[in-house]
Amino acid sequence: MGAHPPPRSAGAGGTPTTTAVPPVGDPGGATGGQSPDGLQAGLKNRHLSMIAIGGVIGAGLFVGSGAGIAAAGPGILLSYALTGLLVVLVMRMLGEMAAASPTSGSFSAYADRALGRWAGFTIGWLYWFFWSVVLAVEATAAASILTGWVPAVPQWAWALLVMVVLTGTNLISVGSFGEFEFWFAGIKVVAIVIFIVVGALAIFGLPPGDDPVGVANLTGHGGFLPHGPGAILSGMLLVVFSFMGSEIVTLAASEAPNPVQAVRKAVNSVIWRIALFYLGSIGVIVTLLPWNDKAVAKSPYVAVLESLDIPYAGTVMDIVVLTAVLSCLNSGLYTASRMAFSLGERGDAPKSFATVNKGGVPAVAIYASVAFGFVATIFSYTSKDTVFQFLLNSSGAVALFVWLVICFSQLRMRRTIERETPERLTVRMWLYPWLTYATIAMIVFVVGYMFYDPDGRKQMVLSVIAAVVVLAVGLLLDRRRPRQTAPVTGQK
């Protein structure tokens, strides 16, 4: 491959000999036709911009938000705000490291350098596992919608079809992935903006509404917190995983002509993206309709459109949700394959994972990721309540693990970057290190609450078991490898 592998830990204990940040060419300019990792730099600025925006909007927002509203009432806005604050802080830390050293391995590569090989191995494989399971979830969801439209085609056939088509787009070139994601994400963004505008008009009594709604639905029906303040935390457990995907742009940036600029723009815009798409749209829902309306719990966005007499509301939202699902499937396959590529490049996965085809994409890594996704999809039909449920639960808390690793990695890498290459600190974490410590405390609190909460306990326990198993494998492999000295920072 064209780039040096990142520095390694000194031995089994995982204490790095150095956390030097390898150069990535000209941090402020174009890298040419090839990324620092040897991948094809085929993503355009408009691709990166839409990936950054669309990465925050998952299918869970359209479908899963109903459960959060039912659990916390209008107070779900505080749940989204607190979780969104966590994401903003974590993305700021990740952006600081990614702007200094863009790489397809993103936080896994940074954990490798800052904390030790065991950390990069563990979080990299857990992240790959998470997105490979997501492939099955999204393929099944897309198949369910398509079967409703064309019942003559079996649901499993639709799932197979969408996975094959999107695997093909990922195999052609990274530009092909970017183009599909640009339009998928564009539809999601337009749909959310229209929803918020229409909803806001109705709230203020303008067409298509009749009379101003006011705050009756926010304060009535048991009040703003009908289930008490504790429901805010319960709501956070339901919404925290819908934010997974914000970090994808830092993986994709390494395949853009100007990765540093792409990371900087994505990090700087994360606040308004979360405020608009999540708080804006959820705010419209809980203001226009009673939180305890059964239709809201089932499908909140459809419920709002139907209440405003928007024709074909159900069909319109089915199209939007299908687009969101396909977008998530497309991004999930891209993300899983790039993480597998990075693991292969660092010697933590088969070397074949780090090879690229004529289109400059890691074909073997894509095949491996989609193969796991196919197997998981089969289980979603044959063993939905056993094997597939285990896969879902054991990958459910990976988002929190990823965020913790990003925090600890940034604590260490910040000092190294300031000492060795301070000119690369084009993105800085606010109030370092105190705000990083505060973020760690917030995430640990959420993890602890998941153990306490009956609904989150099983998911957290199985996720911890999965993490311990992967960690044990990583430590075992690390002991068997010869002791290495990290390469000195320098251009190839």
Model pLDDT for residues 4-18, shown as the tens digit of each residue: 333 333 333 333 434
The torsion angles phi and psi of 458, rounded to 5 degrees, stand at: -60, -45
Determine the pLDDT at residue 23.
43
Model pLDDT for residues 246-304, shown as the tens digit of each residue: 888 888 877 877 888 888 888 888 888 888 889 999 999 999 999 999 888 888 998 99
Determine the pLDDT at residue 458.
86
Determine the pLDDT at residue 254.
78
- CA–CA distance, 428 with 410 (Å, rounded to integer): 10
User: Are 167 and 357 a contacting pair, CB within 8 Å?
Assistant: no
Whole-prediction pTM: 0.86
Nearest in space to 399 (alpha carbons), one of 238, 182, 192:
238
pLDDT band at 243 (very low <50, low <70, confident <90, very high): confident
Model pLDDT for residues 48-86, shown as the tens digit of each residue: 877 877 766 766 788 778 888 998 999 999 999 999 999
Distances (CA, A) of 161 to 26, 152, 172, 326: 41, 14, 17, 12
User: Are 224 and 74 a contacting pair, CB within 8 Å?
Assistant: yes
Q: What is the mean pLDDT of the chain?
A: 83
Residue with tokens 């899983």: 336
DSSP letter at 360?
A: S
Determine the pLDDT at residue 1.
37
- CA–CA distance, 246 with 250 (Å, rounded to integer): 9
Determine the pLDDT at residue 161.
93
Lowest mean pLDDT among 62-76, 371-385, 475-489: 475-489
